[in-house]
A and B are shown apart, each in its own frame.
Chain A
């Protein structure tokens, strides 16, 4: 589950962010630098996602194992504990990535957690058991598990331990970089001048527009585009210098 979520990181970041209008995009080109450098689908990110998935799987098993080993608790109670921990972890991970908390975001997180408890109660209920005893045999497990303090304490500890690497990464990010994103969305639109030397022929450096119109992250990974360096090789640099195609563009954006 963790690998799936982290593999589609660009989409994950897009869904939780907010669009930036045209004037602000011109003013702050660093916003789309990560797309140009293909930072979000680099091998480092993929490997770290995989390692994080392995770590969280180990945490989800070994902490309940340590708690329920050599006790009178049964398999179904342990299953409910691990499910609770997994749900809480997923929601906390989403909350860490969300930057703009609209009412919809808050509702989504709350509904997710509440639906977990409701669906557990439904699938562990008497009526479903009586309809099909072979399938819904978790009867009574959530009745006792959801009011057992040991189950809750274990689930919370497991969640907190599984989320710790993400929180640490976020904290390191906050400490080392001062984010100016608040300025991005609150700045008033002003006339902006764009100056650029469009160099044709440097095909490895793709603009974010080209990236968005092209193949998705899966295709990028399987074709190895992201593994190749984005720095143009010596040949390409020489070619670019020999064919200077300078077009200086001036765009005046008027106030709307």
Chain B
């Protein structure tokens, strides 16, 4: 506050540029000559972007195989309708054909249709403090996980919650039918999760001198799991517990009911996969565990190449092109209005 000036003008505001609104200001001169070219320019930009993105997307290859009831998976589909068969394994095979070779890195995804991972109550049903490795949360999971926090014997569940409980547990083995016979397609299954997830968000409780199963003593696996959390990957000891890559990928909830999640990347070290996937017949052997008929869902396998823009996503280029057409239409309408009314008005004033 400034000094108090006595007299009738005591409460007058300061004579500063800010308070007397004398700040230097720029005022845009908006006339038809600036506005109309702006609309045409934006329409042009949207069109160029749309065309460029469309060309980029056209260069990707994608193959989707819905294997819910395909091939011999029909029998597994029937088997999984019965809950009492849940512990029994079921292996099935589906075949597909690639017409054009996939050049470059090939990404193998599993996809689910009609599985709402974005349901609010489902997304809340997890305990991030437990999965970051806090010991007291390990044995006493948060109440958000209910009813998946303790099993019927009162033993706490690790990892708790509906998200972990519903983990996708199908596994795939891809084979290429070359002329010399069936060749196993190697998939890299490491590094499929985010760096921050794998190293910060999900941590096993500190082991000290104990082994991982000993750390998890006193907890039970989730109700729908066949294996306990410390034994998720028998081949790689470092991929067990809460830091298991498949678990981490599943726990990152998808935005919409139809989604896909990364399963593996083609390992391009050896022939014939050095340049990608060659054209031909392929078969995928599936260990079919995840039941989808309860929510009328479908399961699929997606093989795709990626560009800087992602996979085969036609929506964005088309949206840009549609927007550019719309703006073009608006710009033309405005130009017509200007010729009919605006220009005449100007002439009349003068």
Contacts and interface: CB of A to CB of B under 8 A. Distances in A.
Contacts of B255: 64, 68-69, 73-75, 77-78
B341 A176 contact: yes
Nearest to A185: B27
B258 interface: yes
Nearest to A135: B128
Contacts of A117: none
Contacts of B134: 133
Contact of B254 (A75, A157, A167): A75
Given A137-B128, A144-B194, 11 more contacts: A65-B256, A66-B315, A72-B260, A74-B254, A75-B118, A75-B123, A99-B28, A101-B28, A140-B196, A157-B320, A171-B35
A192 to B, nearest CB: 21
A154 B24 contact: no
A100 interface: yes
A208 B295 CA distance: 62
Interface of B: 18, 21, 23-32, 35-36, 39, 42, 46, 49, 53, 109, 111, 117-118, 123, 127-129, 131-132, 134, 142, 144, 194-197, 200-201, 252-256, 258-262, 308-311, 313, 315-316, 319-320, 323, 326-327, 330, 334, 337-338, 341-342, 345-346, 349
Interface in A48-70: 63-70
The 4 closest A-B pairs by CB, nearest first: A140-B196, A133-B128, A78-B255, A100-B25
B196 A75 contact: no
A169 to B, nearest CB: 11
Nearest to A19: B21
12 contacts: A73-B255, A74-B255, A75-B118, A101-B28, A129-B132, A140-B197, A150-B309, A150-B310, A172-B337, A174-B31, A175-B35, A182-B27
Contacts of B254: 73-75
Contact of B252 (A74, A129, A161, A182): A74
Nearest to B17: A102
Contact of B253 (A67, A75, A134, A150): A75
Interface in A115-168: 126, 129-130, 133-134, 137, 139-140, 143-144, 149-150, 153-154, 157, 160-161, 164, 167-168
B200 A171 contact: no
Given A18-B21, A103-B23, A71 B310 contact: yes
A197 interface: no
